[in-house]
């Protein structure tokens, strides 16, 4: 990657609660697996361990994806959008992303008519 296109964590724009949206995508299929939130600590853990970590807004705690299910997500690349307020994380999933057992959290459709 071109060096002038790379940014540091300090360049990211976290919201007023210290969170940033993270879209998780399968690196092989490009299927969107899930959307979650990260704070600075979960992003740091993700970068250090190479597996996704998130911030649970409902439980108000850090969580490591797959810690109990074994369905970890091995990080291949972390990108950010043009406004630096959303992350796109490409992963190699070890199993389903959704707590329902579905491969992706986006398994239901909404009528458009």
Q: Where along the chain do its domains lie?
A: 3-93
Query: How distant, in Å, are the alpha carbons of 22, 29, 31, 103 from that of 107?
Result: 18, 15, 11, 8
Query: What is the per-residue pLDDT for 87?
Result: 98
User: pLDDT (tens digit, 9 = 90+) per residue, 81-111?
Assistant: 999 999 999 999 999 999 999 999 999 999 9
Name the pLDDT band for 113 (thresholds 50, 70, 90). confident
Q: What gap in Å lies between CA 113 and CA 111, rounded to an integer?
A: 6
pLDDT digits (tens, 9 = 90+) for 1-57: 554 566 668 789 999 999 999 999 999 999 999 999 999 999 999 999 999 999 999
**The model scores a pTM over 0.95:** no
The pLDDT, as a whole number, for residue 58 is: 94
CATH superfamily of 3-93: Phosphoribosyl-AMP cyclohydrolase (3.10.20.810)
CA-to-CA dists, residue 92 to 20, 59, 61, 81, 83, angstroms: 21, 26, 24, 21, 26
From the list 88, 106, 86, the residue with the least C-alpha distance to 97 is 106
């Amino acid at each position: 990657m071109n060096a002038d296109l790379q940014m540091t964590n300090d360049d990211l724009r976290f919201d007023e609660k210290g969170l940033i949206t993270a879209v998780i995508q399968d690196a092989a299929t490009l299927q969107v697996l899930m959307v979650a939130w990260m704070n600075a600590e979960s992003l740091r853990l993700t970068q250090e361990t190479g597996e996704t970590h998130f911030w649970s807004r409902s439980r108000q705690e850090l969580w490591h994806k797959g810690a109990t299910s074994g369905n970890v997500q091995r990080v291949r690349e972390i990108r950010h959008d043009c406004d630096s307020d959303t992350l796109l994380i490409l992963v190699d999933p070890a199993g389903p992303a959704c707590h329902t057992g579905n491969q992706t959290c986006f398994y239901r459709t909404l009528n458009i008519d």
